[in-house]
Structure formats: C-alpha cells, structure tokens
C-alpha cells in the first residue's frame, strides 16, 4: 500500500498545486483526490476519486484540466436558465388620460390571485382586542 500515490505537489504555469488523497465528509470513506492551488485562498477541490493505479502524470493532467475548465466556467458570462417573460407594455384604453389599462388574461389571473391573498390577510382591526 505504501507504493500507492498519496500526496505530491507540482507547478504548472506558475501555479503550485498541492495534491493529496483523503476521504470526503460527504461521500464517506472513499478516497478522493483533493487539491489546493496557490492562486486561490481557502479553496479545496475534490474533482475525482483516487484509484490505486493512479500515476503522478495522469493525476497532474487531470488536476490541470479540471482547474483550467473551472477557470473557464468562472470567466464565462452568466447564462440565465430561467426567467419570467418580460412584461408587455400596457396599452391605454380609448379613455385617453385614464388610469385604466388593459391586461392580458394571464396578468388578470395573477392580479386576481394576489387580490384574493390580500383579502385573506388579517386586517388591523382583526388584531385589536375586543372592547
């Protein structure tokens, strides 16, 4: 077992990687490769499980590839996965200058739901003790 790679460090493009095998508190006793990089403070990464057949060269390549990919993802613009549709411009009715606006069916439904919820809220008078 002493021949199994457990810990080492190396430098890649001016970044020092400190690598070691350790168990994860989350996944249990299975060994994972953990590493820290000199360009980050207080960050540890555990990108893949350790294997008894791991070699220094293979682990180094995997660590660098993982970290370079991580930096690319961090630098990429944020892509929203979900968002509400943009509100449609409210069209004024024929009563020019009026505060009345036309709503589409979906907006009317949402407004009705909100009004129902507001109606169900206890009023200030409901909390006052009876005289």
pLDDT tens digits, 67-81: 999 999 999 998 888
CA 17 – CA 67 distance, rounded (Å): 10
At residue 75, the pLDDT reads 94
Q: How far is CA 106 from CA 18, 100, 111, in A?
A: 56, 17, 9
- The fraction of the chain above a pLDDT of 90, given in percent, is 47
Handedness of CA 103, 109, 114, 119 (dihedral sign): positive
Whether residue 106 has pLDDT greater than 80: no
CB contact burial 34-57 (16+ within 10 A = b; e otherwise): bbbbeeeeeeebbeeebeeebeee
pLDDT tens digits, 48-71: 999 999 999 999 999 999 999 999
User: Quick one: average pLDDT of 87-109?
Assistant: 66
To 5 degrees, how large is the angle CA 89–CA 94–CA 98? 75
């Amino acid at each position: 077992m002493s021949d199994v790679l457990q810990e080492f460090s190396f430098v890649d493009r001016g970044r020092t990687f400190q690598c070691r095998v350790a168990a994860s508190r989350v996944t249990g006793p299975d060994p994972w490769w953990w590493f820290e990089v000199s360009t980050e403070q207080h960050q540890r990464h555990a990108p893949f499980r350790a294997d008894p057949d791991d070699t220094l060269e293979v682990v180094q390549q995997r660590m660098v590839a993982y970290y370079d990919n991580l930096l690319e993802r961090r630098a990429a613009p944020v892509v929203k996965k979900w968002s509400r549709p943009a509100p449609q411009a409210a069209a004024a009715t024929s009563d020019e200058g009026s505060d009345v606006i036309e709503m589409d069916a979906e907006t009317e439904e949402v407004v009705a739901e909100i009004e129902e919820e507001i109606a169900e809220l206890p009023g200030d008078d409901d909390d006052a003790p009876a005289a």
